[in-house]
Each structure stands twice: as structure tokens, then as C-alpha cells.
Amino acid sequence: MKKTSLIISLIVSAAAGLAGSDADRFEPVRKAVQEKMKKEGLPSMSVAVAQRGEIIWEEAWGLAEIEKQIPATPRTMYSLASTTKPITATALMILVERGLVDLDKPANLYLGEGKLTGIRPEDATVRRLLRHTAGLPLHWNLIFADEAYKRPEMDETIRRYGVIVAPPGEEFSYSNLGYGVLERIIERVSKKSYADFLKDEVFTPLGMTRSAVLIEPGPEAETARRYTQQGKPFPFFDFDHRGASAAWASARDLLRFGMFHLGDDVPGRKPILGAASVAVMRRETSPGDPESGYGLGWSSFRLQGMHFVSHSGGMFGVGARLTLLPEKDTACVVLTNASTGMQGTDLWDIEWEILRAVVPGFPEAPDRPAPPSPPAAFAPPDELVGVWEGRVRAGGADMPAKLTVEKGGSVRLELDGKETAALTVPTPLGRLRFRDGVLLAPFMAELKTPDTARAPHILLLGAKLRGDGLGGALSAVAMNQRFCYSHSIELDRRK
């Protein structure tokens, strides 16, 4: 990327008051940050770490905006992507504590015109939305300022795509739409917009003065513009799931949020949740796994004997991580403003270096798993072989579908009379396989609806075998990665 040497040389630190020995312990982190920025073409990075209720280090490197040569500082606000989710969960829990929302009531009880439909919507509780176990499929929808398509109302998005495709409570399925539904519940119950509720009930009481929902970058706002790895700016974009992805915050503000969840007494902060609610949020885990999983807005797991409570975020021009070590009373934030695509930038390595610098005895980073060996050719089990017929519904689609699975491994999908063979080569969506009763099959085909007409796309079938039925989602994923619209698909074996 151009001007790399200038970017790396721009170091803005708020840690000038550190004693020499304290400053020195972060030198390996600084070196790792600068190497990563240079290697991966990151315009800037901002970090902050707290321990036992005190911010012990915060520092920023590089440029928040390349075109105007605006340096990043610890005040710079970054897009948080999915690190928005624990903030949304916290806002929802405020309503729970006030007796306005019951975690174990159906979400539809709190919704308006747009309600969840599909498989047993009465079992899709608020708690299951928080834990990604409500049975909703994959969904993301980024609405860019350079396109004619406009953001639909949240009720309309729920009406189109809030279709439950798996029995609620059966399995974990990460869902941006689920957190969009929670956003709508917050609005309807509180009688405030999602952005205003977060400002009034989360950001202001916690002293998060450099935090907002959906703020457009600009020098007056001190925000970090989102870039490609090559230094090209992304147009500004919105979401139809703001509760999953739309928060912005400085590293210091996000750290303050983490410190609240650790129970630290921070000056200028008002309590927004009781200790019992905070403990429930970070302690709960997914069904059947007592050691790890997803609680109420947090990923909770034990690694090398240590309890981690965290959330990461990644999408176009974003990499974000917030991690808590409750047993060590430590919180860590790492933010950047570039990516290679929808997945964002992985910042796990920098976070680990920071934690090694501040937690005595913190282990070396575990080795990353070796790439898996190439799988054998697809060989479907006998119970999957045959012809399956049914319908695809949601998002304006309601059409016949036929799936043919042959003993030799051929898989073909027919929609509205047009048949396409499944791809047998690896794709970014995964490769053709049958695992744990689920058929995953990518197709170079399109599903024509008013929404999917925005961009060329391919299809991903994810369907679970249940007796003589196959059910799940048929997802239309844009080739430019701007959307993933999932549609319910229900197929029965042809007699």
C-alpha cells in the first residue's frame, strides 16, 4: 500500500505517563503491530488494555483516513461489526431487568407487523435469539451508499427473512438477523430508536462518549474510514441488522464497556445492569457443552485452563476484538480499519501478544491447526440418495424445487424447471459434503427475487436429513459479498 512508511511511522500514544519498565513490556506488541500493518496493508490500528479497574495502556498507529492523512488516535471511532452484539445484548438485558421483556417468552410477543414464521415460532424465545439457537439461518445485508437499493424497514426484513428453518433450541446457528430482531424488540418495548436507546441507556451511563450507532466517517467525527487491504476506501454502508453490526466506538470506550462487564468500578460510570445479569450474560454456554459456547451476547470458552469471554467482528474494512479474562480482571481491545473482504481482519495474534504482556504466566499462543487434508470424493449415504421434491419460500420466493442425489456423488438442484449440478471444488462457502446429518452443497445458480436482483450471486444449500424429509436453508450469496439472503427449503423424498 502507498505511503506505508509514513503510516507505520505515525505513532500516537496516550500512554506517555507509563514508567519506563511498564512501557518496555509493550515493546514486543508494538513491533508485532507494525509488522502486521506492513504485511497486511492495514492503514491503522488502535489498542487498549485494562487490569484491575485501570486502563494501563492505550495506543494507536497509522491513519484513520488515508486521503487526508488524518492520524489515528485513542479517540478515533472504529466500526465494530459483530462486536456490536454484546452491546445489543446488554441493552436488551436492561429491559429484562426492568420487567419489560421476559427472556423465555416468544420473541413474537414483542414484535409488531413483522413476526417470525416457519418451524415452531412459539419456541423462538428472546433467550434463543441472544444465543443463536432460535433456528434462524445465515443472513447479512449491507446497503452501500453507491447503490440504488435502499434499506427496508426492520418489520419488512423480519417478514421476508425471519423464517425459522430448524427447530428452536436444536442447534447453534450464528444469525445476524436474530440480532436485528432483538434491535426491533428494543425499539418497540422502549419506544425509542435503537440508536437513541443505546446512547441514553448504555453509552452515556458508561461514560462512552466516543461511541454511536451508524455514524458516517469524517474528520469532525474522528472516525476511521473503512478500507480494502490495498488502501481503497469502501463506500459508506448501512445494514438491515443494525443490532448485529452497526456500532462504532473508540478503543477506550469499548474497553470501558468491557470493564463494566468485569464488574470494575470505573470513575464516571453509572451502573446499568445488576451483577447477577452481567454474570448470566458471560457465563451461559450453548446446549450440551459446559466448557464453551455462546452465552447472552458473548462467546464464552476455556482455553489452556483460562476462561475467555469475548466477541470479534469482521466485515468490509473492519477488524475488531474485545476479550475479557474474568479470572484475571483483564480486558483487551484491538481495532483496525481494513480487510480483504467480508471476513474482516483477524486480530487474534495481536490480542494474544497484549495479554502475554500483562498477565503473568499467560501461555504462548497455541499453534494454529494444520490445513485439513483434501477430502475424498463426495459419497452420499444410502439414506440421502434419491429424488427430493418440495418448495423454496421467503423473501418473495415461493417456487417448486427438486433435489437429485445419485449414488455416484452427483447432486443436482432444479428450481422453476432449470437444473444445476452442485460444485465439486472448494468454494468460499464450503464444499459439497454430508456431515452430522446435514447436506451442504454450493451451486453456480441464481434465485430470482426483487432482493437478489441487486447483484449476481450463487446458492448454498444447507439441509438436514430428518427421516423422509430434508429441510433447512437455500442461501443466495452475492459474489460481491454484499448480501446473504436465506430462504426456507423443505423437501420430501419422492415415493
Digit-coded pLDDT (tens) for 22-36: 668 899 999 999 999
State the pLDDT confidence band at 411, using cuts at 50, 70 and 90.
very high
pLDDT of 421 > 80? The answer is: yes
- Among the candidates 320, 335, 368, a domain finishes at 368
Look at residue 422 in the predicted model and tell me its pLDDT.
95
The C-alpha R_g of the chain, in whole angstroms, comes to: 23
Q: Secondary structure of 326-372 in the HEC alphabet?
A: HHHCEEEEEEECEECCCCCCCCHHHHHHHHHHHCCCCCCCCCCCCCC
Same domain, yes or no: 192 and 287: yes
Same-domain status, 241 and 179 = yes
Q: Which of 248, 219, 224 is nearest to 234 (CA)?
A: 224
Single residue among 310, 334, 368 that ends a domain in this structure = 368
* CATH code (residue 316): 3.40.710.10
Rounded Cα distance between 2 and 66, Å, is 9
Nearest to 282 by CA among 243, 321, 308, 257: 308
Q: What number is the average pLDDT over the span 166-174?
A: 92
**Whether 281 and 313 share a structural domain:** yes
Tell me the whole-structure pTM to 2 decimals: 0.92
Residue 111 phi, psi (nearest 5) = -100, 165
Domain annotation covers residue 255: yes
456 and 362 fall within a common domain: no
Residue 305 has a pLDDT of 83
Interatomic CA distance for residues 139 and 487, integer angstroms: 10
**Band (3; pLDDT cuts 50, 70, 90):** very low
Give phi and psi for 223, each to the nearest 5: -110, 155
Residue 215's alpha-carbon distances to 43, 88, 140, in angstroms, are 19, 16, 19
120: alpha, beta or left? (left if phi > 0; alpha if psi -120 to 50): left
The confidence score (pLDDT) of residue 426 equals 83
CB 236 within 8 A of CB 248: no
Residues 281 and 135 both lie in one domain = yes
**What per-residue confidence (pLDDT) applies to 429?**
81
Average pLDDT over residues 357-386: 83
In sequence order, the 6+-apart residues with CB closer than 8 A to the CB of 248 are: 77, 78, 79, 80, 211, 212, 213, 214, 215, 223
Q: Give, to the nearest 10 degrees, the angle between helix 85-97 and helix 275-283.
A: 140
Residue 419 in this model has a pLDDT that exceeds 60: yes
The verdict on 277 and 335 lying in the same domain is: yes
Residues in the chain, total: 495
User: Based on the domain organization, do 416 and 478 belong to the same domain?
Assistant: yes
pLDDT of 369 > 80? The answer is no
Whether residue 364 is found in the same domain as residue 398: no
- For residue 207, tell me if it sits in a domain: yes
pLDDT of residue 266 exceeding 50: yes
- Of the candidates 344, 277, 290, the one whose C-alpha atom is nearest the C-alpha of residue 317 is 344
Whether residue 168 is found in the same domain as residue 199: yes
Q: What was the pLDDT predicted at 8?
A: 36
Split at pLDDT 50, 70, 90, the class of 5 is very low
Instruction: State whether 131 and 249 are in the same domain.
Output: yes
Only one residue has cell 461514560, namely: 207
| Nearest partner of 92 among 22, 215, 178, judged by Cα | 178
Q: Is 379 domain-assigned?
A: no
pLDDT at 408: 92
Last residue of a domain, one of 368, 398, 416: 368
Q: Tell whether the model's pLDDT for residue 51 goes beyond 70.
A: yes
- The mean predicted confidence, pLDDT, of the chain is 90
CA dist 247 and 86 (Å) reads: 11
Domain membership flag for residue 380 = no
Say how many C-beta atoms besides its own lie within 10 A of residue 241's C-beta. 26
Measured distance CA(260)–CA(297) in Å, rounded: 14
pLDDT at res. 286: 53
Tell me, yes or no, whether 374 lies in a domain.
no
The model's pLDDT over 189-234, given as tens digits with 9 standing for 90+, comes to 999 999 999 999 999 999 999 999 987 655 556 899 999 989 999 9
* E strands, 360-410, in order: 386-394, 397-405
- Residue 403, domain CATH: 2.40.128
Give the range of the structural domain holding residue 177, as residue numbers without chain letter: 1-368
Q: Domain check: are 364 and 399 in the same one?
A: no
The pLDDT value given to residue 218: 52
The pLDDT value given to residue 4: 38
Which tops the pLDDT comparison, 7 or 73?
Answer: 73
pLDDT, average across residues 441-459: 94
* Position 483 in a domain: yes
Structural domain total, the chain: 2
Q: Is residue 377 part of a domain?
A: no
Quickly count: other Cβ atoms within 10 Å of residue 483's Cβ: 21
Asked if 357 and 484 sit in the same domain, the reply is no
CA-nearest of 146, 295, 278, 139 to 202 is 278
Amino acid at 430: G
Residue 187: inside a domain, yes or no?
yes
Over 60: is that where the pLDDT of 319 sits? yes
